[in-house]
Amino acid sequence: MTRNKSAGFSLIEIMIVISVLGLIAAITIPNLRDARKNANETAAIAALKAIFEGQTMLRDRDLDGDGVQNYTDLPTLVARLQLDPQFLSTRSGYIFEVTRYDAFSFYCYCRPAQPGLTADRFFGIDESGQIYQYPSLADAQSETNPLPIGG
């Protein structure tokens, strides 16, 4: 009696392939999430630099036309310089806010839209152009415990 061997994969072979694919996914997905967080944080720092450049340009050139050289809030900055309107909502996983501005100074901070998911760190920038990292949202909002980063 001859046994008919059908072409195809056995159940064991398919289970091994699925197990290997699951193992690969378990290794790569957390790495992809961390890479996305790092990309969002890098984009947030670049956006803070753009806000600083915009604030400096608006102040130095008196682009609001009031005859006084001063910094401004974020909606006015976006409108006058035609910056990306996403600065007013969520951009690259971060929410931006200018909390202090007058003729001599300004302060802008950004926070993750979903802490732990889109990013982990809080950043701020002031009229000096120095970017700071903060340990918490409360510190970023109140400008306390800054850790200067970059240059």
pLDDT at 44: 95
Each residue of 45-63: pLDDT tens digit? 999 999 999 999 888 887 6
Residue 32 is assigned to a structural domain of this protein: yes
Task: Classify residue 29 by its DSSP letter.
Answer: H
3-state SS, residue 43: helix
Q: Which residue has the tokens 């300004």?
A: 106
The CATH number of the domain holding residue 117 is 3.30.540
Domain count, the chain: 1
Each residue of 64-122: pLDDT tens digit? 677 778 888 899 888 888 888 888 889 989 999 998 888 889 999 999 999 989 999 99
3-state SS, residue 126: strand
Residue 103 is assigned to a structural domain of this protein: yes
Q: Are 145 and 138 in contact (CB under 8 A)?
A: no
pLDDT at 110: 95
Residue 3 is assigned to a structural domain of this protein: no
Distance of CA 68 to the CA centre of its chain: 32
Domain that holds residue 45: 11-149
Residue 93 is assigned to a structural domain of this protein: yes
3-state SS, residue 1: coil
Q: Which range, of 5-14, 33-42, 94-103, 124-133, averages the lowest pLDDT?
A: 5-14
Residue 57 is assigned to a structural domain of this protein: yes
Residue 126 is assigned to a structural domain of this protein: yes
pLDDT at 65: 72
Whole-structure pTM value = 0.79
Angle at 26 between CA 20 and CA 28, to 5 degrees: 100
Alpha helices in the chain (DSSP H): 11-60, 74-81, 137-142
3-state SS, residue 120: coil
